[in-house]
Amino acid sequence: MFQAHPEFAQPSNVNVKIWRYLDFTKFVSLLDSSRLYFTRADKLEDPFEGSWPKVNVAARQQVPDGIPLEGREGFIKAMASLGELQLKGRRHIAINCWHMNEHESAAMWKLYLKSNEGVSIQSTYANLRQSFIDDENIYLGVVQYIDYEAEWIRTGNNMLAAFMHKRKSFEHEREIRALVMKWPVSPP
């Protein structure tokens, strides 16, 4: 079911039109299963999916003044492991993407369909949000586009923030993103 989350910006108009462009095979799968397909984040084409801007990475290497001298080495190691955790975490986060636009987009047709055989599904943000009826927590929001060379992502100590930001070069996607997390269950 839809789960509100502070890292997921909501559109100013929940009745904004959204679009999903699918090849025919994926469309048939959607009809057959009555379920949206979520792609693992590490399988998406953008190799920077879920990564942090340079400013965030540099900030991790700065030891706050309040950390005692004997704890500084441990702090540096812990911050280094955060980057590794984020990279490994991509395997446990799955994403379903929609295009937010009042009109159908020829550019999105070309980007997401490799042949003439496909469909576009038009809905609204509110309808998509209401369609999540599983017990699974599904987070939904508008992707923010930033300059990864100069801008910062407010982390709020939450790794999901990186999955709701993309490089400015993807701004044309005007993406609405649904996200689920599936962490492995560790034995007792």
Cα separation, 99 vs 146, in Å, equals 18
pLDDT one-digit tens code per residue, 8-33: 999 999 999 999 999 888 899 999 99
**21 belongs to a structural domain:** yes
**12 belongs to a structural domain:** no
Q: How many domains does the chain have?
A: 1
Which class for 178: exposed (0-12), middle (13-18), buried (19 or more C-beta within 10 A)?
Answer: buried
Token representation of residue 136: 């699974």
**5 belongs to a structural domain:** no
**153 belongs to a structural domain:** yes
**187 belongs to a structural domain:** no
**121 belongs to a structural domain:** yes
Token representation of residue 167: 């490089």
Cα separation, 139 vs 7, in Å, equals 9
Minimal CA–CA distance to 142: which of 119, 157, 125? 125
**188 belongs to a structural domain:** no
SS3 23: strand
Cα separation, 101 vs 104, in Å, equals 7
Per-10-residue mean pLDDT for the chain, 188 residues long?
89 97 91 93 90 85 84 83 79 95 91 83 97 91 96 79 94 96 72
Give residue 179's pLDDT.
Answer: 96
Token representation of residue 135: 């017990």
Range of the domain at 22: 17-181
**106 belongs to a structural domain:** yes
Token representation of residue 128: 């998509």
